[in-house]
Amino acid sequence: MKALSFLATLGLAALSLSASAQKSAHRRHRTSTASGQIVSVIPGAAAHVGPATYLPAAPTSTQKILSLQEQNYIGSYRMTVGFQKTTHLIFPYAVSYVDLGNGGIIADKARGAENIVKVKASQQGFPETNMTVVTTDGRLYSFLVNYDANPRVLNYNLASTDVSNSSAVVPLAHLSNMGVTQSDLEEYSRLVLDKKKGPHVREQKDDITLALQGMYTQDDVFFFPLHLANSSNIN
C-alpha cells in the first residue's frame, strides 16, 4: 500500500510539472511573437526560434477603365409637366419601352395610340428627374423633366424632329422581339414595291381582283407585295 501511494504521488507531481511547462511555453510563445519571433514548442522536441512569417495579401484584380468622349454623349430634351395637366409626347413609331428616373412623374402609352406617351406629375414640386423612351425603330429619346404648376407646352411632336441633326435620338437599340426595326421594315417594303413586276398569281371574284406579285425575304422576314383592284359597287 505504501508503494502504491508513493507511485500515485509521483504521478501527480509529474502531471503538475507537465502543466507548468506547457503554461511556461505558452507564455514564451506569446512574448516572443510580440517581439517579431516565432517560438515553436513541440512536446519531445527542441524549441525553434525564427523570424515571423506573414501570408502575402491576395493580389487585387486590375480592371481597365475607359473614358467616354464627347462623341459618345447623348443629349436630352428638356420639358416640364404639371400636377393638374397631362402632357403628351408624339413619336414617329410605336413606343416599346419607357423608364422614369423617380416616382415624381408617371407615364403611360395613350390608349389606342401606340406612338403617344402621356406624362404628368405624381407629386407637386418633385426634383428634376429624367425619362427615357425607346421606339420600335430602335431609336432612344432622352428627356430631363422638371415640375411646373402651369406648363406652357402640353404637346410635343417628336415625329417632326430632324433625327439626322439631333444628338438626343440614336438608332442603337436592338429590340428583342423583332428581327428588324420598324424603319428597316418600311425601307424593305419600299424596295419590294419598287421592283419590276413579274409573273404573279391572280384571283378574281365579284369584280374584285387580288394579285400576288412576288415573294421576297430579308433578315428572316417574308414580304408579299399584293395588288387589289376593285371594280364593284363596294367602296
Range of the domain at 194: 182-230
Higher pLDDT, 230 or 6: 230
| Residue 208 placed within a domain | yes
| Residue 163 placed within a domain | yes
CATH number at residue 110: 2.60.40
Together in a domain, 10 and 91: no
Label residue 184 by pLDDT band (50, 70, 90): confident
Residues 6+ apart with CB under 8 A from 171: 137, 138, 139, 163, 181, 183
| Residue 64 placed within a domain | no
Q: Residue 161: how many CB atoms within 10 A of its CB?
A: 17
Together in a domain, 193 and 156: no
Integer-rounded Cα radius of gyration of the chain = 41
| Residue 89 placed within a domain | yes
Together in a domain, 38 and 81: no
Residues 6+ apart with CB under 8 A from 85: 120, 150, 151, 154
Which CA distances in Å does 115 have to 110, 118, 139, 188? 8, 10, 13, 21
| Each residue's pLDDT tens digit, 105-125 | 999 998 888 899 999 999 999
Look at the chain and report how many structural domains it folds into. 3
| Residue 235 placed within a domain | no
Cell triple for residue 171? 438608332
- Dist. CA 189–CA 89, nearest whole Å: 27
| Each residue's pLDDT tens digit, 4-49 | 444 444 444 444 545 454 555 444 444 444 445 544 445 555 555 5
